[in-house]
Amino acid sequence: MTAAIKILCFLFWGNLLPPLASLALGDRLARPVDHGATWFDGQPLFGPHKTIRGILTSLVGTTLSFPLLGVSWQTAMGAGALLMAGDLLSSFIKRRLHLASGESVFGLDQIFEALLPALYLASRMQTPLWSPLLALVIFVPVAHAGARFWKYVLFKPPMENYPRFIRSTVRLREWRSCHQPLARWHVLFNLSSLIYNRVVVSTVFRLLGFYRQGVANALQLELSEHDIPCPSLPHPFDGFTILLLTDLHLDGLPGLVDQALATIGERSFDLCLIGGDIRMETYGPIAPSLRELRRLLPHIATKHGTFGVLGNHDCIEMVPDFEEAGMLMLVNDATLIEKNGAHLWLVGIDDPNYYKTHDPAKAFSTVPPNGFSILLAHSPEAYREAARHQAALYLCGHTHGGQICLCSGTPIYTNSSAPRFTARGRWQYQGMQGFTSRGVGASGAPLRFNCPGEIAVLTLRTAASQPATDTL
């Protein structure tokens, strides 16, 4: 039985190494083994999924496992070479059957890569024939299930017309955060967030006796009004008002929607922009936040509609629900707003903080060179790229202004890799105006200190003047 377990572990290890290399390296060094060559039937020899990187990774990794197998390194290397040879043979047969590269076929994908090395190791380890056969019986269905998981969870787009570049690292993060059947177990996949926010931060403020005050502070929203000077702004848009709501985290604090509506009152605006993070947690169900969003949006009066972008707490699967609730989503996309014959381009990019799926080049592709554009992003971390695409105004949130600040208002932690001058309020970079909202809700621990939640009203002006914070 020990020999069967060793052979089985060897097969799983050799089978797992190529996808792990793909996960870690992406497209780097992924040169196909066949270099694109075709067979007599005009089909590829092996296909693009069989790479030199994958074969070398598996060969080195399986060779290094020789101490655990109790064989020489030469024997482990020979078994690894047979495993890869069997894998290539399966791919060769699949191409002859006109099956697409990467398509999973039960049995055919596993039999050769498992049978050849298993029999070889059994002969070298002088173990009975039933040991490799037992390993084979277990390996085939489990490896097939793993291949289906890899393809349908990590590589398959989660929705039609998926507006992101497909990378396994992105899909793995989305699966951890958004896969609803895992709701009971999501804590295990997000343990660091739970420990920091719900154990460390919350416990500290409870022990200090300030927890209730922090929750009360988080429900005290501030309406801030700002004139944003944009010298290149088309004159018909002078006085154009934007209601900016970011980091709503609507299901995190009971009564937050009521407070927000009371703060906004009966005012109407030209445009409402929502900067992402509708859900409180980075994982778990989305229904509670959607219920609150449907309560909020019908009471916001605008002339040109409500637009939003995804944040690091939002999943791509939420887009249809957001739009059904009344928020048009911009995922690396742009839309044109017209007023009295003049044009303003509203550009929205995907989350640049956690998923890092923002694509400014794609988002700005329809914006004319001299078009006046406003970029909406979840966080300030794409500010340099926005400036390169000549955005006139960069609007974002994510930092919460620090959420828990010193008495002077200085943030202790901004959760952003962008410079501190972009953490809150107005700022400027290479002629591009910027504004970072402190956010409406509270993230992690539902507390605020010296940093009230913010509902921002921005009024665009053609007159040139210096912003409150003039940096770079």
pLDDT (average), residues 32-51: 84
Tell me: pLDDT of 286 over 60.
yes
pLDDT band at residue 43, thresholds of 50, 70 and 90?
confident
- Amino acid in position 106: F
Q: How much is the CA Rg of the chain, to the nearest whole Å?
A: 27
pLDDT band at residue 465, thresholds of 50, 70 and 90?
very low
Q: Which tens digit of pLDDT belongs to each residue from 128-149?
A: 888 889 988 998 898 888 877 7
Which of these ranges, 34-48, 220-234, 268-282, 323-337, has the smallest mean pLDDT?
34-48
Quick one: pLDDT at residue 152? 59
Contacts of residue 153, defined as CB under 8 A and 6 or more positions apart, other chains included, come to 171, 175, 179
pLDDT band at residue 469, thresholds of 50, 70 and 90?
very low
pLDDT band at residue 470, thresholds of 50, 70 and 90?
very low
Tell me: pLDDT of 100 over 80.
no
Quick one: pLDDT at residue 357? 87
Sign for the CA dihedral angle at 56, 59, 64, 68 comes to positive
* Domain boundaries defined on the chain: 2-155, 196-461
Nearest Cα neighbor of 344 from 324, 321, 318, 373 is 373
Quick one: pLDDT at residue 155? 55
Tell me: pLDDT of 212 over 60.
yes
Sign for the CA dihedral angle at 88, 90, 92, 94 comes to negative
pLDDT (average), residues 425-444: 94
Q: Which tens digit of pLDDT belongs to each residue from 152-166?
A: 555 555 555 555 555
Tell me: pLDDT of 168 over 80.
no
pLDDT (average), residues 24-49: 80
Tell me: pLDDT of 66 over 70.
yes
How far is residue 417 CA from its own chain's centroid?
16
Tell me: pLDDT of 472 over 60.
no
Using CA atoms, how far apart are residues 197 and 388, in angstroms rounded to an integer?
Answer: 36
pLDDT, the chain, mean? 86
Q: Which tens digit of pLDDT belongs to each residue from 388-412?
A: 999 999 999 999 999 999 999 899 8
Quick one: pLDDT at residue 203? 81
Quick one: pLDDT at residue 47? 81
Using CA atoms, how far apart are residues 122 and 278, in angstroms rounded to an integer?
Answer: 56
Task: Name the percent of the chain in helix, strand, coil, to the closest 5.
Answer: 45, 15, 40
Tell me: pLDDT of 28 over 90.
no
Two tokens, residue 154: 């990590």
pLDDT (average), residues 294-322: 93
Quick one: pLDDT at residue 341? 92
CATH architecture for residues 196-461: 4-Layer Sandwich (3.60)
Burial class (CB in 10 A: 0-12, 13-18, 19+), 175: middle
How many Cα atoms are found within 13 Å in the side-chain-facing hemisphere of 27? 3
For the whole prediction, is pTM greater than 0.75?
A: no
pLDDT band at residue 183, thresholds of 50, 70 and 90?
very low
232 contacts 460 by C-beta, under 8 angstroms = no
Q: Which tens digit of pLDDT belongs to each residue from 376-392?
A: 999 999 999 999 999 99
Quick one: pLDDT at residue 225? 96
Quick one: pLDDT at residue 36? 81
pLDDT band at residue 175, thresholds of 50, 70 and 90?
low
pLDDT band at residue 251, thresholds of 50, 70 and 90?
very high
Which phi-psi region, left, alpha or beta, contains residue 403 (left: φ > 0; alpha: ψ -120 to 50)? left
Say what percent of the chain tops pLDDT 70: 86
